[in-house]
Amino acid sequence: MLGHRVKDTSLLRLVNKFLRAGYVEEGNLYKTESGTPQGGLCSPILANVYLHYALDLWFEKIVKVQCKGQAYMVRYADDFVCCFQYESDAQTFYEALKERLAKFKLEVAEDKTKIIPFGRYAGEECKSVGQNKLPTFDFLGFTHYCSKSQSGNFRVKRKTSKKKERAKLQQCKEWLIKHRHAGMVTIVAYLNRSLLGYYNYYCITDNNQNVDNLQDKVRGLLFKWMNRRSQRKSFNWEKFVLFMKRYPLIRPKVKVSIYDLSRVQNYILYDTGGAVCGNSASTVLRGGWSTIHHGEAPFYSTPIIFQHLDRGCILRQHQQAGQARCR
């Protein structure tokens, strides 16, 4: 596949050597029978190139042409989401996807795959089948769900996924247990650096409250483990509040406004005559069964996903490729 775009024989020879290099685990050398070495530096890049030909081009050239309605896909490494205007197209694609991946010795992770109604009229769809709770899905660390704006209009919102939130709290807890005897200034400085990295990714529109709740939980962990530095309590709550006023944890604030970015992306989309611009996020249909382009904004670090979605079916898909899968 690299030979389609790369003519440098020296580079191709190095890639072949890398694929046959194997990997070392617990002092033992294991040969690479197929795919890329697990944990190899080039493995994510090669897997991404592999999926470009196995999935991206197939979806763009074949699937979209055969669909009755509009269809779009965004992929990040081995994780992707597909939007379809009609549920029948989503069902047909799911069956064709299994066959397509099998040709490239890949397989669908059934436990991480689902087809859900999602959008402006998803509530009506769910009520018609007796479901009271609207379905959601996780992608790139965010849970995407249907909601309304303050003015009462339909709006897709995003919040930190429970899995990522629990992982962050567990990381802070383990660090505090291990370093609870360090100086208080050192501990607060570390927590602020850790929280800042978390804020830079998760502080987007509609998610500030969830991030603020996590900061409160981290403060609770700090209070708990600082009182276990010895048999005597270091703080009561009143003293702890005074201490936090002097050495505060940084407060979250919105780092990226989804709707400020959407204006830039809409300008790019409409300025090109409505063409599909890579990794853009904007509405392509008004009313009815509407779908969107969605993905990571090319010039920003925060993923912009499902900017507007009126109605449609979402296929949430993981795929596993053995040693060839991305990590």
Q: To the nearest whole percent, how much of the chain has pLDDT over 90?
A: 23
More confident residue, 157 or 6: 157
Q: Residue with structure tokens 């249909």?
A: 285
DSSP conformation class of 234: S
Q: Residue with structure tokens 């493995």?
A: 43
**Secondary structure of residue 37 in the 3-state scheme:** coil
Q: Report the range of poorest mean pLDDT among 120-124, 147-151, 202-206, 261-265.
A: 261-265
Q: Report the range of poorest mean pLDDT among 140-149, 235-244, 251-260.
A: 251-260
Contacts of 240 (CB under 8 A, 6+ apart): 223, 226
For the chain, what's the residue count? Answer: 327
More confident residue, 299 or 52: 52
Instruction: Determine contact, residues 300/307, Cβ cutoff 8 Å.
Output: no
pTM, two decimals, is: 0.73
Instruction: Determine contact, residues 61/79, Cβ cutoff 8 Å.
Output: no
Q: Residue with structure tokens 């048999």?
A: 231
**pLDDT at position 27, please?**
80
Residue 310's pLDDT band (cuts 50, 70, 90): very low
Beta-strand relationship, 79-84 and 311-320 = antiparallel
**pLDDT at position 313, please?**
57
Q: In what order do the strands lie in the sheet with 154-160?
A: 137-139, 142-148, 154-160
Phi–psi pair at 16, nearest 5 degrees: -65, -40
Residue whose C-alpha is closest to residue 101's, from 72, 78, 68, 67: 78
**Dihedral angle at the C-alpha atoms of 28, 32, 33, 38, nearest 10 degrees?**
100
More confident residue, 306 or 85: 85
**Secondary structure of residue 169 in the 3-state scheme:** helix
